[in-house]
Chains A and B, each alone.
Chain A
Amino acid sequence: MDATDKEILKNIQEDFPLAETPFADVARRLDLSETELISRIAALKEAGVIRRVGAVLDAKSLGVATVLCAARVDQERIEEVAGIVSSFRQVTHNYQRDGDYNLWFTVWGKDEQDLERTVGEIEAQAAVWVTRLPAVKTYKIRAVFDLT
């Protein structure tokens, strides 16, 4: 990743033009040709730096309920349990972490009831107790990275 790539990433994480020719618009900002910009973005995707380009939706505005969950899983069961947890399409993040609570995952549901049903199903299928840590207040969600 060179300086131009970093500059591109800075410009397309936020202020991505919602316009008919967005790449040409960004290219103009950065004094690149549209073709070069597109091929660099393609390379960054290929390298796994960019996961996708698109909309990040706000769960709350859509009425969607989400919860952070934590479980204490025996070391010898961690892969099995993690596999069951990940198999739910409502689970978006699932990490093994240091500590007594060693499996952390986030679950969403169409509403609170749907969410609780899913978490209950995870508990039953994985045979673990799941501690629910719902957010009371959100101070910041900003998955944008300053690379310079």
Chain B
Amino acid sequence: MSTSITEDDEDVSRRDVILITAGGFAGVLGVASIWPLLDQMNPDSSAQALATTEVDLSHMERGQAITVMWRGKPIFIRYRTDDEVAAGKDVPLSELPDKVARNANLPDDAPATDENRAAEGKEPWLVMIGICTHLGCIPDGQAPGSNKGEFGGWFCPCHGSQYDTAGRIRKGPAPENMAIPPYAFTGDTKIKIG
């Protein structure tokens, strides 16, 4: 009998079990630990906590616009004149580059009519996220006398996107209408965004 260990003497199958289980666990844990490393970058609890804002609109007059902050984003609130509402209603859907309402309070496929863009049952009120859907600039058109673009709504100075009085994209590189955030009137002149 030989004293040295040969291939035959070794319990090869036992070694395989160790290799496969240890390797398998190490692999699974290694992959699983990637998730915390990635997910830590997502918006944290404090960012999510800022998710609702209440706004009092009682001081606003027809034709006036204000900008408030919600989740670090500007929200455009415009109390539209009858002319502005009529201009929004006059446009046939077929002329719109983006035909869906982009209104978080309506189904995803709701058409981009003026009614679907405005506050429910209060068509003069338009509440939307004031961020150009091209690359995120803030369009002009809120302050009196600022450039409202060819369609009387908003004009983005960055790459020239033009929005109409219902905040719908009409011309330029932006692909979508400006988004309507989730919001609701909590009183006659009070809204809660988020």
Whether chain B is bound by chain A comes out as no
